[in-house]
Amino acid sequence: MEDNKNYIQLTSSIYLDIHSINKINLSQSELELIKKQFGITHILTLHSDNSSSSNNNNLLLKEEEEEQIENAYHEILNYSFLLQKQDQSRFFLQSLAFFTNAFELKKRQEQTDKQENKFGILLRCDKSITISMLTLLCYLMIDKNLSFEKGIDFITERLKMNENCLNQFEKEMNENYNSLFEDLKSFVNERKRNLILQQVEEENNFQSNLDEQDKIFYFVCKMCRCKLFESTQIMNHQQQENTGYKNFSIKKQKKDFKQGINHSITSKKKCTSIYFNDKLDWMGELKGDEGNINCPKCGYRVGAYKWSGNQCSCGVWVCPSVQIQLSRVDKKVNELNYK
C-alpha cells in the first residue's frame, strides 16, 4: 500500500482521495503529483450539484467539465438524483460504465503494447467517501461477481488504513445512506436477472429458423439495453473482390506474425463493426478528427469515430468512419416491422 495520508489504495489500481471532501478541485501541481506517484489515468469525481436537479435529469454535468487532463480521463458524475431517489439505476449504470471503459482500455493497451503502461483510477467525492465506495461496490458486485457482504468486507478491510474513514463509512452505511445500499442491491439483482434473460433470448434467436432478411432489426447498448439504431440506418460497405487481411498495413501484419497470428494473404475477414454515413442524433457533437462514441444513457463506450477514415476488419477502408463495435451492442428483432 502507498504511504500517503490523503489517499487510500483500495486495489492494485484504484485509489480513494480522502481530502476531496474538503477540497473538490485539484490544482495542476496536485494532479501531476498523484499521476507520478500512483500512475493515475482515470478520475471519477462525484459531485452533488443540486442546482442542476431543477433544470433536467441529466446525471452528467456539462460536457466541457468532462475533460482530458494531461492524459488523465476525467468524468464528473452528479449524484444528487441518487439522494433524491430519482433514476438510481441510471447513476449505477454510468458509474459502472466508467470502471468498465477504464479496464477495457487497459486491456487493449496490454494487447497492443509490449511496454508496461501506467494505469490508475482515482475516486473523489465532494461530501462523503461513502458515495465513492458505493460506486466501487457496484463494480465489484457486477464485474467481479462478489456478493454484497463480501464486497462490504473487501472495502472495510481497505479502509482500516484510516480509522476516521472507516468510522464514517460504517456510520453512513447504517444510517444516512442505508437506503442507497438497498437500492444498489436491488439494481444488481435486477441486472443479473436481465443478463440471464438476455442469454436465453440470444440462444432462442440463434436457434430460430426465421428468415432474418425479412425483418427490421434494432440494436441496443449491451450495458443498459438503451435502443441506439435500426438496421435500416446502417451503411453498406461490402467487401470487394480479393480484399481482406492483405489490405492491412505491413507493420500490423509483421506485428501479428511476431505474436504468432498467422493470416492467409487471401483470407476474407468478417466485419466486427457497423458503420454509418454520418453521425446519429444521439451521438452528440463529435468534435475533433477522432474520439469515442458513448451510449447516451449510461456512457458505455459503444464505438468510435474518425473523420479521416478507418479500415474495417474485413479490409475495406471506410471514410468518414462513424463506427459501432458489434461486441458492444445486441441485435433485437422487431417482430412487427418488415422490410
Instruction: Give the position of cell 469515442.
Output: 292
Instruction: Give the position of cell 458509474.
Output: 95
Predicted model pTM: 0.67
Spatial contact of 304 and 274, defined as CB atoms under 8 Å apart: no
pLDDT in tens, the chain (339 residues): 444 678 999 999 999 998 877 677 777 777 788 888 888 999 999 988 754 333 333 333 333 334 444 457 888 888 888 888 877 888 899 899 999 989 988 887 777 766 667 889 999 998 889 999 999 999 999 988 999 999 999 999 999 989 999 999 999 988 888 899 999 999 999 888 877 776 666 555 544 544 455 567 889 998 888 899 988 888 887 655 444 444 555 555 555 555 555 444 444 567 888 899 899 999 988 988 899 999 998 888 899 999 998 888 888 889 899 999 988 898 887 654 433
* C-alpha to C-alpha distances, 147 to 165, 185, 231, 278, nearest whole angstrom: 22, 9, 38, 43
Instruction: Give SS3 for 103.
Output: helix
The helix/strand count (H/E) of the chain reads as 8, 15
DSSP codes joined into one string, 224-249: T--EEEEGGGPBP-PPPTT-SGGGS-
The pLDDT value recorded for residue 287 is 87
Instruction: Give the position of cell 440470444.
Output: 202
Closest CA to 325 of 104, 73, 119: 104
Instruction: Give the position of cell 463493426.
Output: 273
Integer-rounded Cα radius of gyration of the chain: 22
Spatial contact of 231 and 207, defined as CB atoms under 8 Å apart: no
Beta strands in the chain (DSSP E): 7-9, 14-17, 42-47, 67-69, 72-78, 121-125, 215-221, 227-230, 273-276, 290-294, 301-306, 310-311, 317-318, 321-325, 329-338
pLDDT in tens, 314-338: 888 898 999 999 888 988 876 544 3
3-class SS letters over 3-54 = CCCCEEECCCCEEEEHHHHCCCCCCHHHHHHHHHHHCCCEEEEEECCHHHHH
Give the DSSP H or E segment for 91: helix 88-112
Spatial contact of 311 and 318, defined as CB atoms under 8 Å apart: yes
